[in-house]
Amino acid sequence: MTTGQAPIPVRDAFERPLRDLRVSVTDRCNFRCQYCMPAGADACTPYLGRNDILAFEEIARLVHIFARLGVGKVRLTGGEPLLRNGLPDLVAMLSEVPGLDIALTTNGALLARLAEKLKCAGLQRVTVSLDSLDERTFQAMNGASFPVWKVLEGIAAAADAGLDPIKINTVVLRGVNDGSVVDLARWFKGTGHIVRFIEYMDAGNVAQWSPEAVVPGAEIVWMIGAELPLEPAEANYRGEVAQRWRYIDGDGEIGVITSVSQAFCGDCTRARLSADGVLYTCLFSHRGLDMGRAMRSGADDAELEALICGAWSERADRYSELRTRIGANLQPRIEMSYIGG
């Protein structure tokens, strides 16, 4: 392991550092959200076998190596990460990495019964996906007839466990849930939680993305600001994906993620590790580097570190910038449910 050693910063072809790692712990999900894994999608993208998915010890080994290269933040994703049995055990392993910020993104379905265990294991932050407060709209979007109140119960449990401030992710689709934007902002205003409204992205292939369904971030800010006045706020750090807007009355803030209308590739510091150990350097990648195979073939830590350095130093990804400029999809993409968004 590489703990206790000073990080060795690595930069890509555009001088972007490697700071953030998203780790998918499963490709399975109990929702069928239309923008990610719509109903029937599993027939197009069969699930990984149990033996193909990295063991917790393998994930922890790779995270230690990534930390050596400058990663200071790990976010556990899926699929739905809380479907992975014993997830608090993995969190406890990762908490042994000095200075590592450990976060989780979840649909909230299982959060109420796991929030306290995750916090005790060392989880620091949680982001919950919630696309509407309207029951009919939410159930139509999650494709599993899952009720809103259970997600809200999970958010409350996370807050009670001390996983504050909680972030709420809302993917906005025109004609589907854009009428829920102001209600969501108003519901969480003053709670300390931060709703982040996300432009509908063309990640993956099965979701059948259409640019007509995108609600630009500027329009979202206008809708909310017309009823709950806003002002821009400075970014907390370089590479923060959400543009921050705070309520003028000081009662909290929202975020807007604009990867379609205002690409932010130039500040991207994120790598992604799939559940079977493939390293992707962009959400919109169509191929990656199989770290799991290398590890299981006997590569030592130094060899694995060299593979990561090589992949990142050659990285020239800027899909969103190119898509914005050209106005078209550029390539097949790995499914978002496979690498966690």
The pair of structure tokens assigned to 169 is: 């992710």
Q: What is the pLDDT of residue 41?
A: 62
Measured CA to CA, the distance from residue 167 to residue 254 in angstroms comes to: 9
Q: Is 173 helix (H, G, I), strand (E, B) or coil?
A: strand
Q: What is the pLDDT of residue 331?
A: 62
Q: What is the pLDDT of residue 42?
A: 61
Q: Long-range CB contacts (< 8 A, 24+ apart) of 325-330?
A: 329/202, 329/209
Query: Burial code of 90-102, b = ≥16 C-beta within 10 A, e = fewer?
Result: bbbbbeebeebeb
Assess contact for 252 and 194: CB atoms under 8 A.
yes
The pair of structure tokens assigned to 77 is: 């994703």
The pair of structure tokens assigned to 6 is: 């000073």
Could you read off the pLDDT tens digit of each residue along the chain, which spans 341 residues? 444 566 788 999 999 999 999 999 999 999 999 888 877 666 556 789 999 999 999 999 999 999 999 999 999 999 999 999 999 999 999 999 999 999 999 999 999 999 999 999 999 999 999 999 999 999 999 999 999 999 999 999 999 999 988 999 999 999 999 999 999 999 999 999 999 999 998 766 666 778 899 999 999 999 999 999 999 999 888 778 899 999 999 999 999 999 888 876 778 899 999 999 999 998 878 789 999 999 999 999 999 999 999 999 999 877 666 666 655 555 666 777 777 76
Q: Are strands 167-172 and 194-199 parallel, antiparallel or unpaired?
A: parallel
Q: Is 31 helix (H, G, I), strand (E, B) or coil?
A: coil
Assess contact for 157 and 112: CB atoms under 8 A.
yes
Q: What is the pLDDT of residue 327?
A: 55
State whether the Cα torsion 88-94-100-103 is positive or negative.
Answer: negative
pTM (predicted TM-score): 0.92
Q: What is the pLDDT of residue 265?
A: 79
- Angle at alpha carbon of residue 189, lines to 236 and 32, rounded to 5°: 85
The pair of structure tokens assigned to 58 is: 């393998």
Q: What is the pLDDT of residue 2?
A: 44
CB atoms within 10 A of CB 103: 18
DSSP 99-142: T-EEEEEE-STTHHHHHHHHHHHT--EEEEE---SSHHHHHHHH
Measured CA to CA, the distance from residue 336 to residue 325 in angstroms comes to: 23
Of 290, 306, 340, the C-alpha closest to 68 is 306
Of 86, 179, 190, the C-alpha closest to 137 is 179
Enumerate domains of the chain plus CATH numbers: 20-339 (3.20.20.70)
Measured CA to CA, the distance from residue 210 to residue 213 in angstroms comes to: 6
Q: What is the pLDDT of residue 323?
A: 63
Measured CA to CA, the distance from residue 238 to residue 222 in angstroms comes to: 25
Q: What is the pLDDT of residue 267?
A: 85
DSSP 235-304: -SSTT--SEEEEETTSS-EEEEE-TTTS--GGG--EEEE-TT-EEESSTT-S--EEHHHHHHTT--HHHH
Of 13, 56, 6, 72, the C-alpha closest to 309 is 13
Could you tell me the CA-to-CA distances from 94 to 53, 75, 195 in Å, in that order? Answer: 17, 11, 27
